[in-house]
Structure 1
Amino acid sequence: MGKLGCNIDGNLNDQKFSEPLPWIGIYVAAASMACLAAMAADVIHGFRHQKFWFPCKFFSINATSLTLIGVAIKLLVDLNTAMPSRQDQLAKLSSVVFICTVMGNSMPSFGTMGNEEILMNIMALAILVITVIVNICMQLATGAIFVFWKEHASVMFLMLLLLVMLTFTALTVPTTKHYLEYKYRKKYELAVQEVSDEIEKTVASKLRKGLVMYWMMAHTSSPQFVMGRSVTCTASGAFCVLSAMILAEAMLRSYFMPGFFQFQFCSGDSDYKWSTTIVLITQTIAVGVGTIAPAIRWLFAIRFRCPKRGNISFKRELFYVESYWIQRLSEMKEYPLTTRIIKLRSRHFRRAAHAAKVQFLNLCIALQTWIVVMSKVVRYISIFFVSQVLLCCDCCGELKKKFKFNNTISSNYPGSDSQPDSNSKLDLSRYVLHLEGEEALVGLMMRSNFDATDHLLQKGKKREPKYLTKLLENSSKGFRGVAEFDSNQVPSLVCEEPTNCWALPVVTLTIIALALPDTKLCLRKDLLCSVSEGLMYVKHIEKILVKSAKLGNIKKAAEVLWTGVDLYHKWLDVDLHKLSLQGKSPKEILEELAENAKNKILEQKDKDTQACLKENPLKWPTKVLAANSMYRISRTILLEHESRSQTGEKLFGAISVMISDILGACLTNFKEVICIKVLNTAIEERERSVRHAVFALGKTENILKILNDKALPSLEPHQMACIDAWRLSLKQNSPWDFTKSSSEEKTLSSCSNDVYLAID
């Protein structure tokens, strides 16, 4: 028996080495399929959201995609495996076209990257492309690729051209981001002023109008949209279509003109065997699907640039290069060389190095200028031919109208033209953020995105939190429950009381309400659903407005408590359902909850955390914070219960009002949350942030209308986000008691302040 890898004669058994190759072909097809799925998802996402510039949400140039591409082109870089048949040679060509498709498809994704990320991804992509070109040249020289050499040469040229375009387009990303960020903040101030000048409008109406403006600014300044509508990106779409046509031409010739290749293909199979057919089919489909987005970007650029048939008045712009294309390169010429090696050399050496750098950058500027002009020429040629086609279509349409008089009357009916008039009531052209040379696109971008906010608002209204809205309808004027859930008359069990947050008292009050006897099951379920919906908004508001790390443990305690209540109907280890069925009075249940909470605090004091309890209360364990909240709130309600005997159902209603007051007071910060989301979010995430804000406004519009009728304390916006500031203001200005009568409530509420929610 021979050694491993050798036959009986002791010679090398190379047949063993080729056995796994069909499975490697399956691996290549799987990597191609993964890229295909991601590109298809981007196409579906673009059509679904009517974003015909097709943002790269699922497929972009990054470490993962580059690894998949490297696997997908394995057949192309295989230098020594014989590929004799037609499908073998076509599989190599499809791999080259696949790279072109990937580059053209993912160009907008560079808009979302930082400077360092752009540099690293460009370098990795350049290494991959150059490696592929070198491998193809070697295979053309050795005969591994013996047909379709013209197609390979053409696609290699397009691939290198796409790489250069992609590299120099990515150089403009920092410049355009900085410029659009500056314009956004200026337009934001203008929008805020315009909305604040509106009189006799509710908060919801002001937010709706403001978000329409914010959406237009965020959408038109989205880095991916800016990249997608750039002249180089649209020209790359034309090159992607051309590379796909080259692959289609080669496949059609080889399959439908077999006589032309009669003596060119060789007989036999490659070591990859049947797997090359699977690779060819997968990559051909990937090229077809991946070409959709670049092709539509190209076609829409043609449509954008010739809104009038036969209008080619932009000839004068053909050889004009906007400043932002070369601004970064021009600035780099002035930067000094800071390398340590340069600093150690002589002045003459530094001057020579600086001069070399300037000459290199001058070459880059010339190349960038050539790329932009070439892209404009491609667009101009495309527009010239398409405009002629559109003119023919218009002529055919005119002839058709002459023979169909009724259609002419219906088309002239004002109903079809009334839509633009209805939309023109709010002029958003001032809020379309554009770059130099994009002035002709302002009107088109405004009209194509005008109704986006209405769609999102209607979508949000379908998911309105109905239980929370119903609960907030019962909130009191001025939200006096914010001041009443914790009384100063309750003796403290600790040296220092912790700071309050919005969520913990809501959860504690809900636990007490669920433990009360003689309450209807439907009321308990409604309260659970209401608080569950409300806590989602409370958590979001506290995350954005209350960024202090001091409340970290308190927020965590609220989340831990609510998980136990929502899933198991338990407060720590107390079963609330069993407690409510024990036949005890509300007073006895409150006393039991307070006693359990007191015992947990004392137990914790007896342990090794006593030093922690004496120090900072914000460092207490979550169970201690939960127990302390339960002790104080249940004792506060007991003080009220002693002076006024109430049944379980009435006490349940009173606690529900307190919960409603706390949730309502917290939700008055919704306006500030929106302002922060639309201004302080990074430019890459701003469009999505504004979209979520519009969707949230649609969900909470009825809630804001309810809150608009409530009297609020005169607090600064940063104080409105703090529950302790609310409590202090309410206790100083309106010292209500829990036993206040309805007549006194009406008298006090009539003297309350106006709503403090204008956008200013």
Structure 2
Amino acid sequence: MGKLGCGIDGVLNEAKFSEPLPWIGVYIAAASLACAVAMAADVIHGFRHWKLWFPCKFFTINATSLTIITVAVKLSVDLNTPMPRGQDQLAKLSSTALICTVMCNSMPSIGTMENKEILTNIVALGILVITVIVNICIQLGTGVIFVFELEHALIMFLMLVLLVVLSFSALTVPTIKRYLELKYMKKYEMAQKECSKANETDKPLEQKLREALMRYWMMAHTCSPQFVVGRSVTCTASGALCLLSAATLAEAMVRFYLVPESFKFCKGDSDYGWSINLVLLTQAVAVGLGTIAPAIRWFLAINFRCPSRGRKKGYSREYRLEEYWIRTLVEMKECPLNIPVRNRLCRRIVHDAKVKFLNLCIGIQGGIVFTSKVIRLISILFMSVILLCYDCCRDQLMKFTPDNSVGNDSGSELPHSSKLDLSRFVLHLEGEDSLVEVMMKDNRDATDYWRRKARKRQPKYLMELLELSRPSEGFKGLTEFDSFKVPSLDTEEAPNCWSLSLVTLTSIAIAVPSIDSYSIKHLIAGVNEGLVYVRNIEDMQGNLVNSRKAADVVWLGVELYHRWLNVDIRKLSLQGKNTREILEVLSDSANNIFMEFKKCNANLCLLDSPSKWPIKVLAANSMYRICQSILLDYENRNYKMTERLFEAIGVMVSDILAACLTNLKQFITIKCSTSSIEEREESVRHAAHVMGKTEMIVKLLHKRSLPGLNPDQMAVMDEWHHFIS
């Protein structure tokens, strides 16, 4: 009977069931801490990148976060565990406040979701919120919660309002994305025309690229779905509600700890025991950290529109309901409802019910937007006095500050009038006209900042390697590594690949005997830095996926273990063999890999093209062709001198890298336009980092005479090979 939970006398042993509760409290605290860490990471990320609208990078509404939140708020839905002490009652309140905080904090994340994902996550969040509200109401009725009743009631009201605001804000996301995508394409065409005109001027290439990036960044940033949601009026209002929720929890905690005699608590201890204090601490920290981002969004929205700071004073136009708020609901109302019912009267009743329901939703949406704008106006009226006092104090301090205008003029910053006007590239919604100048001013110099930051991490080994290239001879090394028509290991030749050719040549260079380790290390370091940009350029081609994978697999072994597939190339160089013998060993090893695979796979020749060969076969084919090319020219170039062969391979590698990196300008342009609206901002940021790191390389290569190939051909290695040879 003891195993069934009963004692010897047959009475149910309830105390036994409560023993794990302290450890469950630790589990709740761990989930709360996870929420706190994720929200704090978003705050740090926002400050680090100076995105004070705080995009949700680490804490978003998804299946994982909703599961963690469900664990973190377990105390709110615990209906029958006694909570007699003040800390127990506060922990109940902090769990409720945490839900408000996470909803406000993660609101911008709905901008990155697809339509089905939005629906799934909002429904799941709604079920959680309604469950919590119902359970708290039950606890208020049964007496499990017997203090802080007003605080609970207020936070439950805020929770319900935030759920409605979040749900109806999510309805606008598809419409906003469509609208901004269309607007982006028009602005992108305008940017391309301006870039084409700039190319006809005598401006340096790096300045043309920098100005192009500034245009692309302004468009990509201002149409970022998270930024659009983050600057919306509903998100601003949610920030005010989040502050009110956190203030309610803070008020309850202050009253409890400073005026404990005003409460009457029960005697005894909670079954959660010592873990309640841990839960209360972690959830209070989570609420505090989670309130930072919504509060700053709220404050910035007020600061942008505050009349006392020179902003627009008229508010009458701002209280119109912009079309994009209700566009989705209007489209749903106009669409026919396809139901498998033949009876005309039934279909009419259902259709009328749908129209009335959607009219109600449109009314609710209008009420939410209007209320949000009222909250913003009240906030402005309240904060304008404080901001005005701050401006007055600042102006008074400036009178006693020495005039540094001369020093400022001599600095690196350009006067405002000489900067590129980017206001026409700011993508904004209806009703956001007053924010255009603010958004342009705050993001004008973002790409220059990243470029300067990236310039501090120049690929020095790559630049040293590129200096081995011979400008007077063009890109001759690009043909020397495969200078003769050497038959490949199959009837059809596999296409050359920038990265695979580089790693194969580097593998051969490491195998060359009597070369000092310093030269080998520098070659590996230079190729390693160059492959980062080579892979970016190869991403523009879609037909060399297997070749790029083969290069990655080979390079992993070469860089870490000095092994080319199954051959220890460093050991091979120490066995006393001459260069011809080493090249023959590598060639034979590649041939054996191919022939062995062909025996096991008789249908290899039936593949559509050699570019679809398995990665080891492609790596073997590349090694065989390059080794045979070098062997056929072995005597003419006196490669039996190891230093001469190593130097020749270094020049080949340098020329291949130089030819490939001439596509950096094309890569930066494509990178700014091909990504989706959710990824476009990060894509342009990446392009700015690449430009900053390779600015000196672009200058160096721009001085060289390039072959008469169009941009698409210049990205293909075989096109270079055919043109030069």
Q: Which residue of 2 aligns with 1:754?
A: none
Mapping of 1:89-128 within 5 angstroms?
A: 89-128=89-128
How many residue pairs end up in the alignment?
718
Aligned counterpart in structure 2 of residue 449 of structure 1, from 418, 423, 443: 443
1:479 counterpart SS class: coil
Q: Which residue of 2 aligns with 1:189?
A: 189
Query: Do residues 475 (structure 1) and 505 (structure 2) align?
Result: no
In structure 2, do the counterparts of structure 1 residues 218 and 311 end up closer, same or farther at CA, with 3 Å as the change threshold? Answer: closer
Q: Which residue of 1 aligns with 2:424?
A: 430
Contact 1:237 1:294 in 2 (8 A): yes
In structure 2, do the counterparts of structure 1 residues 400 and 559 end up closer, same or farther at CA, with 3 Å as the change threshold? Answer: closer
Residue 29 of structure 1 and its aligned partner are, at CA, apart by 1.3
Query: Do residues 530 (structure 1) and 522 (structure 2) align?
Result: no
**What CA distance in whole angstroms lies between the structure 1 residues aligned with 2:592 and 2:24?**
66
Q: Which residue of 2 aligns with 1:392?
A: 389
Q: Which residue of 2 aligns with 1:562?
A: 555
**What CA distance in whole angstroms lies between the structure 2 residues aligned with 1:180 and 1:498?**
43
**What CA distance in whole angstroms lies between the structure 2 residues aligned with 1:290 and 1:569?**
49
Aligned residue identity for 1:501: C
Q: Which residue of 1 aligns with 2:601?
A: 609
TM-score normalised by length of structure 1: 0.90
Query: Do residues 64 (structure 1) and 64 (structure 2) align?
Result: yes
Mapping of 1:493-572 within 5 angstroms?
A: 493-542=489-538, 544-548=539-543, 551-572=544-565
Residue 496 of structure 1 and its aligned partner are, at CA, apart by 2.1
Contact 2:307 2:384 in 1 (8 A): no
Contact 2:671 2:684 in 1 (8 A): yes
More deviation in 722-731 or 431-440?
Answer: 722-731
Query: Do residues 369 (structure 1) and 361 (structure 2) align?
Result: no
Mapping of 1:646-725 within 5 angstroms?
A: 646=639, 647-725=641-719
In structure 2, do the counterparts of structure 1 residues 159 and 464 end up closer, same or farther at CA, with 3 Å as the change threshold? Answer: same
In structure 2, do the counterparts of structure 1 residues 94 and 630 end up closer, same or farther at CA, with 3 Å as the change threshold? Answer: closer
In the TM superposition, what whole-angstrom CA distance separates every residue of 1:484-503 from its partner, at most 9, and x where no partner exists? Answer: 32234435553222222112
In structure 2, do the counterparts of structure 1 residues 130 and 637 end up closer, same or farther at CA, with 3 Å as the change threshold? Answer: same
In structure 2, do the counterparts of structure 1 residues 575 and 154 end up closer, same or farther at CA, with 3 Å as the change threshold? Answer: closer
Residue 677 of structure 1 and its aligned partner are, at CA, apart by 1.9
**What CA distance in whole angstroms lies between the structure 2 residues aligned with 1:307 and 1:538?**
52
**What CA distance in whole angstroms lies between the structure 2 residues aligned with 1:657 and 1:668?**
17
Residue 308 of structure 1 and its aligned partner are, at CA, apart by 4.1
Q: Which residue of 2 aligns with 1:168?
A: 168
In structure 2, do the counterparts of structure 1 residues 299 and 640 end up closer, same or farther at CA, with 3 Å as the change threshold? Answer: same
Q: Which residue of 1 aligns with 2:354?
A: 357
Aligned residue identity for 1:212: M
2:697 counterpart SS class: helix
**What CA distance in whole angstroms lies between the structure 1 residues aligned with 2:295 and 2:117?**
27
Residue 36 of structure 1 and its aligned partner are, at CA, apart by 1.0
Q: Which residue of 2 aligns with 1:218?
A: 220
**What CA distance in whole angstroms lies between the structure 1 residues aligned with 2:571 and 2:393?**
80
Q: Which residue of 2 aligns with 1:249?
A: 251
In structure 2, do the counterparts of structure 1 residues 307 and 476 end up closer, same or farther at CA, with 3 Å as the change threshold? Answer: farther
Residue 172 of structure 1 and its aligned partner are, at CA, apart by 0.8
Aligned residue identity for 1:365: I
**What CA distance in whole angstroms lies between the structure 2 residues aligned with 1:604 and 1:654?**
32
In structure 2, do the counterparts of structure 1 residues 581 and 108 end up closer, same or farther at CA, with 3 Å as the change threshold? Answer: same
2:415 counterpart SS class: helix
Aligned residue identity for 1:521: S
Residue 351 of structure 1 and its aligned partner are, at CA, apart by 1.6
In structure 2, do the counterparts of structure 1 residues 390 and 489 end up closer, same or farther at CA, with 3 Å as the change threshold? Answer: closer
**What CA distance in whole angstroms lies between the structure 1 residues aligned with 2:494 and 2:427?**
47
Residue 687 of structure 1 and its aligned partner are, at CA, apart by 0.9
**What CA distance in whole angstroms lies between the structure 1 residues aligned with 2:79 and 2:446?**
52
Aligned counterpart in structure 1 of residue 262 of structure 2, from 254, 260, 265: 260
In structure 2, do the counterparts of structure 1 residues 13 and 422 end up closer, same or farther at CA, with 3 Å as the change threshold? Answer: same
More deviation in 419-428 or 185-194?
Answer: 419-428
Aligned residues: percent identity?
Answer: 60
Aligned residue identity for 1:258: P
Q: Which residue of 2 aligns with 1:743?
A: none
Aligned counterpart in structure 1 of residue 454 of structure 2, from 429, 451, 460: 460
Contact 2:308 2:388 in 1 (8 A): no
In the TM superposition, what whole-angstrom CA distance separates every residue of 1:414-457 from its partner, at most 9, and x where no partner exists? Answer: 83899572475211111111111111111111111122112211
2:634 counterpart SS class: helix
In the TM superposition, what whole-angstrom CA distance separates every residue of 1:124-146 from its partner, at most 9, and x where no partner exists? Answer: 11111111111111111222212
In structure 2, do the counterparts of structure 1 residues 335 and 610 end up closer, same or farther at CA, with 3 Å as the change threshold? Answer: closer
2:75 counterpart SS class: coil
Aligned counterpart in structure 2 of residue 630 of structure 1, from 604, 623, 630: 623
Contact 1:39 1:289 in 2 (8 A): yes
Residue 373 of structure 1 and its aligned partner are, at CA, apart by 0.9
Residue 256 of structure 1 and its aligned partner are, at CA, apart by 2.0
In structure 2, do the counterparts of structure 1 residues 357 and 636 end up closer, same or farther at CA, with 3 Å as the change threshold? Answer: same
Contact 1:613 1:620 in 2 (8 A): no
Aligned counterpart in structure 2 of residue 235 of structure 1, from 231, 234, 237: 237
Residue 310 of structure 1 and its aligned partner are, at CA, apart by 7.5
Aligned counterpart in structure 2 of residue 484 of structure 1, from 477, 480, 486: 480
In the TM superposition, what whole-angstrom CA distance separates every residue of 1:315-359 from its partner, at most 9, and x where no partner exists? Answer: 213421111111111111101102xxx332311211221111111
Contact 1:25 1:272 in 2 (8 A): yes
Mapping of 1:292-307 within 5 angstroms?
A: 292-306=292-306
Mapping of 1:304-319 within 5 angstroms?
A: 304-306=304-306, 308-309=308-309, 313-319=313-319
**What CA distance in whole angstroms lies between the structure 2 residues aligned with 1:266 and 1:653?**
86
Residue 103 of structure 1 and its aligned partner are, at CA, apart by 0.8
Residue 249 of structure 1 and its aligned partner are, at CA, apart by 1.5
Aligned residue identity for 1:87: Q
**What CA distance in whole angstroms lies between the structure 1 residues aligned with 2:632 and 2:397?**
85
Query: Do residues 20 (structure 1) and 8 (structure 2) align?
Result: no
Q: Which residue of 1 aligns with 2:80?
A: 80
Q: Which residue of 2 aligns with 1:330?
A: 330
**What CA distance in whole angstroms lies between the structure 2 residues aligned with 1:635 and 1:157?**
78
**What CA distance in whole angstroms lies between the structure 2 residues aligned with 1:15 and 1:667?**
72
Residue 311 of structure 1 and its aligned partner are, at CA, apart by 5.6
More deviation in 116-125 or 499-508?
Answer: 499-508
**What CA distance in whole angstroms lies between the structure 1 residues aligned with 2:222 and 2:350?**
41
Contact 1:221 1:434 in 2 (8 A): yes
Instruction: Quote the RMSD (CA, aligned, Å).
Output: 2.4
